[in-house]
Chain A
């Protein structure tokens, strides 16, 4: 029975099947919001309101020809998309929406899971770099170099911003952080600055406009994905969709008070709060133009990092004051 439950947990809910459906829904939502902001319709044709369009896109890509360049490092090139998908799906299991017990930490909810989560969200970036590097294309190589350069920019502000609410809550466990803020909702207002920094950093992590520099099509063609096609590209795109869900779930758990009310109501909160954050991300995407890589670095270190440090200091001082 326990084995069956584990299998269901990994493959159906909240495992790969649920993540697939929900992340494609989020992609549809993102595309629709983006399109409406640009005075377009967005997907309308496949399914009601075009809801099935991302799924159709996924299966279309899966059925396309899969080309591996001769000069590529074949092992890496083939394995990395699946690896990337596995990493972000694992991160999704750690969200405090499903399978957590506040009193008894288990293997999906434990002290320090916020750190593991941040680590698992950093891995896709490295995977992307390796994918770009192993495809040996000139445009991919430049894209890969840009991926890493950006990583050095946004990663520190993101960590500082996400960890400061944890400092205030006095716990490294996502479920406990969320429970702390559910008990004292007013304290959420303290973290607004950190929330804004984190939203911008997540936008950079997901490589969306204005940070879509590693795959800027007008500059370096497909960037990191230039040589990827067919199934592998489909898996990468799915991995990005899931990463968007996980990252917005993380922000919702840390900054928006988590998902109170048990499995069912908690799930409704999860959908509402992640969609809210994805809406913010789409808003940024529609309202800005792509900036240059040097501007990303100076933005991260001159604006985001100091703001995140201010947030951290505020949390530490408030914590001292409260105790």
Chain B
């Protein structure tokens, strides 16, 4: 009796979380952090009326003042002189923004002038709290989806028989449903100017990440239904590449990208950047099973997986502009890899015992999904972190740096897979294609990141 109780408890917790999210529709006031290389401004809020600002500058700066302009309306607010609290830290209080809308905040530190784009709401920061909670629910949903898929695959290989209502199926459909319901709960209340950055759809201002997540989850469930029809015609052969299987894998990747987008919008907070690294790690994991089969003697699995790895790593570099967070991506990939290594075989043995369906005679007990993941990715992340730091210091154009980095990631993955004999019958062509596609994916990752940075409130 313990199992159903645990399962029901987990479901209830998740549903309560989504419901709580749905009712968290009141936007809140939160501080806004704006940063350039050596000048950081912390505003208590991006609103009209009196605003308190804290400015961090290099210690040798003697004077700091702030003023704001609204180029569209030709407004300019009087300059507010900041008081020096200690070397490198200044504070100012004043009316910086006369009305809501897009402003340019200028900080004058001695002779240096730094400008920031900022969107001013009605005394309200533009990213509603439900998007913050929603992002973490998306990540939770994707975790359940990914580990559920791993468990289901392990079950088929090590045990075999199933019905629609098995625990692994429930786990991954639950993950997808949580992503879908969270997206609805975030998109439905998003109306009007306080909704934050969003895509206008049917009268809503849908935050892009949640629009993509919702479509991905809907696609997942829809293709799940198609898959069920497919199985009534062709039987339940699991090893075949079918349109519905490929579509389910693609829909999972769409959801992974959506989680990355959701955390790109939260990149101003440390927790948001950790979430981004975790989302990226799951995305790289999912990418390793996105495609099946071979073409021209080249493994499409390796081709797709390395392209996703290069895109994700360069996207995280582009969103955070920091080598440190690229390394964090590698670190969290190790965690996701470990979970994928240990959970599916463990859960399969446990479930097999608890429903009395013994393991196959030839059960491998080997975590198959974890074996498909690129073991070498953390190394690529360390290389990527160093490359970002190097390119920044030397002022190498990010487009060039990311193309080279993407190519290196592709080459690293293809060499490691070559050792496992997984690249197909034409290793030379595979190495060439994977490296070239890695370069394209890396550059594309950076460009995508430049757009994803706009999902954060201050660049709306």
Say whether A and B bind each other.
Answer: no
Interface residues of A, Cβ cutoff 8 Å to B: none
